[in-house]
Structure 1
Amino acid sequence: MCRHDCVNTDGDFECTCPKGYRGNGRVDGEGCRRGEPLLLKIFAGSALGVIILLLSACLIYLELKRRRSNKAKEEHFHRNGGMMLLEKLADRERSPDMVKIFTSTELQKATNDFNNDMIIGQGGFGTVYKGLLQDNTLVAVKKSKRVDPNQTEQFINEVLVLSQVNHRNVVRLLGCCFETEVPLLVYEFVDNGTLSSHIHNQSKGGCLIDWDMRLRIAAETAGVLSYLHSSAATPIIHRDVKSDNILVDHNFTAKVADFGASRLVPVDHTQLSTMVQGTFGYLDPEYMQTNQLTEKSDVYSFGVVLLELLTGRGAICFDKPEEEKNLSYFFLSMLKQDRILEIVDDGILIVGDDKNRESQIMEVAKIAKRCLYVRGEDRPSMKEVAMELEGLRLGGKHAWARNGDDGEETESLLRDRLNEFVGNGDGYSNTTIGYDSIRDQVNLLPTMGGLGR
């Protein structure tokens, strides 16, 4: 039986549905039900087509964006010196695997897209961010301040220098990244700030460090410089030794940082002709006059760091009277008048009747004086300085030079300690300050020469 129209056929019948309906029309079948309007079909088909087009356009856009991003990363890689690094590693017959190449995505995630809240240091050459890698390793990411093709070689230089340094008192380089607009360096995270912050800014979160800590930090830093000068595969001159570039960990262990200005010294050279670079107040006066960089330039800068540890003063203090602005000059003047204890930091003279401490302080002052001689050839080597400071730490005054039955034994002990200290390493720079011109500091040289040698 049909619900609507019925058409008889030979021995059977067929049911039909009215216009606009569909089905078999039978009462005992699916009957007739209203069909979808043609307009709705057209709309549905068009909508589906538009959706497909939009999805296709999105996929094409994302693919083009990915390709542009990859092309930009490739351009950054070349401009930032990625190929230069690989070539120099090859020239030195060193494996590229010795320097980990991070992706920009890894470091963006680690630093929360370089969020300002992650900044832990800023300086003349860039910003340092605290980061957390996927394996929960804390790192410090150094991001250059601006794109400067002239700094590419300096960036690669820092990577090369640190890739060959393996010393427990050097901030360890974990890798670098060339894919960003400005190059990035990734270091181990040192959690207690700079030496400068602890001896100059105790009111801003720095900790008061006693004499024993200061003497140990001085000995550790001297050990690093001795290692760089005489024990590294290729001798290295740091060229920017200062308290801002000495970090300390939670145990107040020294970690020398910022090798961007460092120079590798060819085996057959004792000096290099370079443009004067460094921080006023720490710059070797002989280097400033001759442009001849030697290992003794680091010795001079280290001498200024010793003065900071002794006095708690900055290398350059513009808020002091004229005769006290330059710490090196003021120290030498007070030493000549035998008034050193008057300018020693109060924090290390708490125990007034500690004669051993006073004796150590005077010995360190004498070492500093020798480091500050105007002529480099008159200064001791960093190995000699490291041995003297380590000798003081062991409780002796020039312990290796004592007379007596135990002299050879003591000397042997010191040399063993020094070899361990400077020869077998195991595995945020603030804005440069100074005089308005180099001439201002060079003008002090005649006076300083009269105080030194």
Structure 2
Amino acid sequence: MGSAFSCCDSDKVDEGVPPRDGHSPWRIFTFKELHSATNGFSEDNKLGEGGFGSVYWGKTSDGLQIAVKQLKSMNSKAEMEFAVEVEVLGRVRHKNLLGLRGYCASAEQRLIVYDYMPNLSLLSHLHGQFAAEVQLDWKKRMKVAIGSAEGLLYLHHEVTPHIIHRDIKASNVLLDSNFDPLVADFGFAKLIPDGVSHMTTRVKGTLGYLAPEYAMWGKVSESCDVYSFGILLLELVTGRKPIEKLPGGVKRTITEWAEPYIEKGRFRELADPKLRGNFDEEQLKQFINAAALCVQSEPERRPNMKEVVELLKGNEPKGKVMQLRLKSVKYGDDLVSMDQASDDEDYESDGKGAGRYDESDAYGVFGAMSNVQKMHDPYKRYADRMGKKG
């Protein structure tokens, strides 16, 4: 890392890449700026916490709302994920990807700065604190599905070198004030050189979303993201978790639950009950079909993200007929038996069958978002104090 990220303690503001697609350029923040913006990294401003560290809400002196990810440890693993995320985020510019607002790196600190997303994550609306409010109607779910798919299409087909995200899940799809989706958290991303179809690597991600060839053998390709997106799509349509606990401690994947309904063409029964029947049945079938194709057990049978976007928009790519069976494989009993503490645990393995789980990383960039109502604007406090003095 060294010299590449050593300018953060200076008060000089460095501009990053020029703006594209309407995005502002990223820049290097000083630690002092971020300390002030977050009320000294106050507990009241904490958005969430994971194995990587903590994320804080903040507001800069010019009024920009930000989320600041502060890495907890300075070990080689954390350094690598920080370097990868800054490298990847510095490259990407797309309306459906959470870009880099800036970073800070000093001798003791590693911080990444994002724009704050007022509607938090898809996870918070499907399973978290906003689930009961049912803000995600069918139209918003369509927007989330198509926008997320377009973000992944950009990563896989339009940016060079191509990027595999490796951690597509509901907590890593953030929602802006209009419920437009932004795919986030590139700490596990892989840059794929031209001409390389797949790589073998240490497995990282969240069980339930992992493609079988990746979970079991560490084979990673764009198709792994496609599989994860298929699970996300099923989750978005049905409102169910990727893995759910049944009575007696048995665990069932969303594909195991959905397969009988798909096979019998009972698509309406797959729709999230919270929608109360308010959805377009033809679009529901399109989404289920796209999901079923994405979660095929063999990578070569899955569509690419260009085809997925077409499917979601109602255009049937050549050779991709309606898939009435998921044909997705179950995770091995050895993997599922290790999954004890949470439905949302992160999984890490050496690609040879040996793995471990880390529940603390499960919630993505903005964490579990439990403290949203308690966040304090540092500059409003200052203005209030000045007003009282006057």
TM-score by length of 2: 0.74
Q: Which residue of 2 aligns with 1:243?
A: 170
Q: Which residue of 2 aligns with 1:227?
A: 154
1:325 Cα deviation after fit:
2.5
Distance 2:230 2:71 in 1: 29
Q: Secondary structure at the match of 1:176?
A: strand
Does the Cα contact within 8 Å between 1:238 and 1:298 map onto a contact in 2?
A: yes
Find the partner of 2:303 among 380, 393, 401: 380
Q: Which residue of 2 aligns with 1:176?
A: 103
Q: Secondary structure at the match of 1:173?
A: coil
2:79 paired with 1:167: no
Distance 2:316 2:208 in 1: 32
Distance 1:360 1:204 in 2: 22
Q: Which residue of 2 aligns with 1:146?
A: 73
Question: How many residue pairs were aligned?
Answer: 315
Distance 2:93 2:181 in 1: 14
Distance 1:431 1:125 in 2: 19
Q: Which residue of 2 aligns with 1:133?
A: 60
Find the partner of 2:290 among 367, 370, 377: 367
Larger RCO (CA under 8 A, 6+ residues apart): 2
1:340 Cα deviation after fit:
4.0
2:178 paired with 1:266: no
1:116 Cα deviation after fit:
0.6
Find the partner of 1:196 among 90, 101, 123: 123
Does the Cα contact within 8 Å between 2:203 and 2:348 map onto a contact in 1?
A: no
Richer in helix (by share): 1
Distance 1:185 1:431 in 2: 27
For residues 323-402 of structure 1, the aligned pairs below 5 Å read 325-351=252-278, 357-389=280-312, 391-392=313-314, 398=315
For residues 270-281 of structure 1, the aligned pairs below 5 Å read 270-281=197-208
Show structure 1 runs of 5+ residues with no match: 1-80, 87-94, 393-397, 402-429, 442-453
For residues 24-103 of structure 1, the aligned pairs below 5 Å read 81-84=1-4, 97-98=16-17, 100-103=27-30
Distance 1:342 1:323 in 2: 23
1:114 Cα deviation after fit:
0.2
Q: Which residue of 1 aligns with 2:232?
A: 305
2:244 paired with 1:317: yes
Identity of aligned residues (%): 36
Q: Which residue of 2 aligns with 1:415?
A: none
Does the Cα contact within 8 Å between 1:106 and 1:133 map onto a contact in 2?
A: yes
Change (3 A) 1:205 1:164: farther
Whichever of the two has the greater Rg, that structure is 1
Q: Which residue of 2 aligns with 1:115?
A: 42
Does the Cα contact within 8 Å between 1:331 and 1:340 map onto a contact in 2?
A: no
Q: Secondary structure at the match of 1:190?
A: coil
Distance 1:269 1:320 in 2: 44
Q: Which residue of 1 aligns with 2:345?
A: 433
Which string of whole-angstrom CA distances, capped at 9 and with x for unpartnered residues, describes residues 284-342 of structure 1?
A: 10112331210000000000100111110111222567776211222224323444432
Distance 1:369 1:298 in 2: 14
Q: Which residue of 2 aligns with 1:293?
A: 220
Q: Secondary structure at the match of 1:236?
A: strand
Change (3 A) 1:312 1:135: same
Distance 1:287 1:363 in 2: 26
Does the Cα contact within 8 Å between 2:134 and 2:274 map onto a contact in 1?
A: no
Distance 2:247 2:343 in 1: 20
Specify the code of the residue in structure 2 equivalent to 1:233.
T
Distance 2:257 2:56 in 1: 36
Q: Secondary structure at the match of 1:283?
A: coil
Specify the code of the residue in structure 2 equivalent to 1:160.
E
Change (3 A) 1:130 1:319: farther
Specify the code of the residue in structure 2 equivalent to 1:367.
A
Q: Which residue of 2 aligns with 1:208?
A: 135
1:201 Cα deviation after fit:
2.5
Specify the code of the residue in structure 1 equivalent to 2:231.
V
Q: Which residue of 2 aligns with 1:419?
A: none
TM-score by length of 1: 0.64
Specify the code of the residue in structure 1 equivalent to 2:105.
F
1:144 Cα deviation after fit:
1.6
Distance 1:158 1:431 in 2: 25
Change (3 A) 1:332 1:164: same
Specify the code of the residue in structure 2 equivalent to 1:433.
E
Which string of whole-angstrom CA distances, capped at 9 and with x for unpartnered residues, describes residues 202-234 of structure 1?
A: 556754311111011100000000000000122
Specify the code of the residue in structure 2 equivalent to 1:83.
S
Which string of whole-angstrom CA distances, capped at 9 and with x for unpartnered residues, describes residues 166-201 of structure 1?
A: 101111211111126341101111111101111123
Specify the code of the residue in structure 1 equivalent to 2:292.
K
Distance 1:359 1:291 in 2: 37
Distance 1:83 1:320 in 2: 54
